[in-house]
Chains A and B, each alone.
Chain A
Amino acid sequence: GAVVSQHPSRVICKSGTSVKIECRSLDFQATTMFWYRQFPKQSLMLMATSNEGSKATYEQGVEKDKFLINHASLTLSTLTVTSAHPEDSSFYICSAMSGNSGNTIYFGEGSWLTVV
């Protein structure tokens, strides 16, 4: 089946710095990717929808300037957490939708972010 890869799987950064997480569709083109955040023992919370070549659509309550999303190609979307704080520590998961079929969404392995 289709593969979505996230990198890094784990990252530790200092407060005030920025960190970038990559989401790649390895064997298909993804016009749309989604970024989720998951707190321990909770469900996935959609942060934003990333569309190739256009601005991301953010969910209500998600700070656009803090969580920068770029979808510059059909196989890559990035999430940059700017000026990170300890409360940004979380598990971040991306998913990608294959082509224009819209039928199947594939998830990445997730990325653990710890801000110290």
Chain B
Amino acid sequence: AQTVTQSQPEMSVQEAETVTLSCTYDTSESDYYLFWYKQPPSRQMILVIRQEAYKQQNATENRFSVNFQKAAKSFSLKISDSQLGDAAMYFCAYRSRSGGSNYKLTFGKGTLLTVNP
């Protein structure tokens, strides 16, 4: 079974600064997806960024980028120019590319990000 580990329960960053959230995972599969989701106080799950394991290039979405190290099974999220609206719980998630119930997402325990003005 796959596992996802987020070792930082809480992080804080100053507005306009950069912060990196860590995530490691364990799997025996070679092809899969990795995700970062944001959950603000509203509790709505918002997809921040997605990485396909077969792609070597790190995914980027505006101020959000990842450092995907497949051999090390590491998938960190970097938030640049942090904004107050970035404050939220961030979840790292894994999903297999194979079908059926393997489409389910396996989540880490989350990192609560605080942005200080």
The chain A residues found within 8 Å of chain B, CB to CB, are 32, 34, 38, 41-44, 46, 49, 57, 91, 93, 95, 97, 102, 105, 107, 109-110
Residues of B contacting A57 with CB < 8 Å?
101
- Name which of B103, B106, B109 has the most chain A CB atoms within 10 A of its CB: B103
The 5 closest A-B pairs by CB, nearest first: A107-B45, A49-B101, A43-B109, A43-B107, A110-B43
Identify which of A34, A38, A42 contacts B105 (C-beta below 8 A): A34
With contact pairs A43-B109, A102-B99 given, residues A34 and B104 touching in the complex (Cβ less than 8 Å): yes
**Chain B's nearest CB lies how many Å from the CB of A48?**
9
Closest to B9 in A: A41
Complex contact B91–A43 (CB within 8 A): yes
A interface, over-half SS: strand
The chain B residues found within 8 Å of chain A, CB to CB, are 42-45, 91, 95, 97, 99, 101, 103-110, 112
With contact pairs A43-B91, A43-B110, A44-B91 given, residues A93 and B104 touching in the complex (Cβ less than 8 Å): no
Assembled-state Cα–Cα distance A91/B44 (Å) = 11
Assembled-state Cα–Cα distance A37/B34 (Å) = 21
19 extra interchain contacts, Cβ-Cβ under 8 A, other than A43-B107, A44-B107, A107-B45?
A: A34-B104, A34-B105, A38-B43, A41-B112, A42-B109, A43-B91, A43-B108, A43-B109, A46-B104, A46-B105, A49-B103, A49-B104, A95-B45, A97-B103, A102-B99, A105-B95, A107-B44, A109-B43, A109-B44
Complex contact A91–B43 (CB within 8 A): yes
Residues of B contacting A42 with CB < 8 Å?
109-110
